[in-house]
């Protein structure tokens, strides 16, 4: 599945979760529900995928975790906040950079319409 189809399917799954659960719950509940919905749709999902951080060739941490990692291709960061801030986008972009993935999704479930809570984030440093 190409990345555009994958992001489309993940957004559809997130919309399903949002329509069933509604806004205002904890991020962890949306994370588990979205993982379940994606598995029902035939995707592989890793919850809390560790991200290794290297500094000048030395591993300094593997404590960062991407909320969802779908089909070994797509980083999905979830929020349940009043509004997304620039740091949320930067965090997602940093995860993409560290994992060398081209595209990620930042999804805020604390919105009336999920259309207003979904953002694609592009990794400007992506290397094939």
- CA torsion angle 10 16 21 25 (round to 10): 20
pLDDT at residue number 128: 86
Q: Which residues contact 69 (CB under 8 A, 6 or more apart)?
A: 45, 46, 49, 75, 76, 99
Domains of the chain: 3-122 (3.40.1350)
pTM value > 0.85: yes
> What stretches in the chain show pLDDT beneath 50?
none
pLDDT at residue number 59: 96
pLDDT at residue number 60: 96
Contact assessment for residue 75 and residue 101, using Cβ atoms and an 8 Å cutoff: yes
pLDDT at residue number 1: 77
């Amino acid at each position: 599945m190409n990345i555009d189809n994958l992001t489309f399917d993940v957004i559809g799954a997130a919309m399903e979760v949002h329509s069933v659960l509604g806004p205002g719950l904890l991020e962890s509940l949306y994370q588990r529900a979205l993982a379940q919905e994606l598995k029902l749709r035939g995707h592989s999902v890793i919850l809390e995928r560790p991200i290794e951080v290297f500094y000048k060739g030395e591993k300094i941490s593997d404590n960062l975790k991407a909320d969802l990692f779908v089909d070994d291709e797509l980083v999905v960061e979830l929020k349940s906040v009043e509004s997304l801030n620039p740091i949320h986008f930067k965090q997602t972009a940093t995860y993409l950079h560290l994992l060398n993935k081209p595209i990620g999704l930042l999804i805020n479930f604390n919105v009336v319409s999920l259309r207003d809570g979904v953002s694609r984030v592009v990794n400007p440093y992506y290397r094939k």
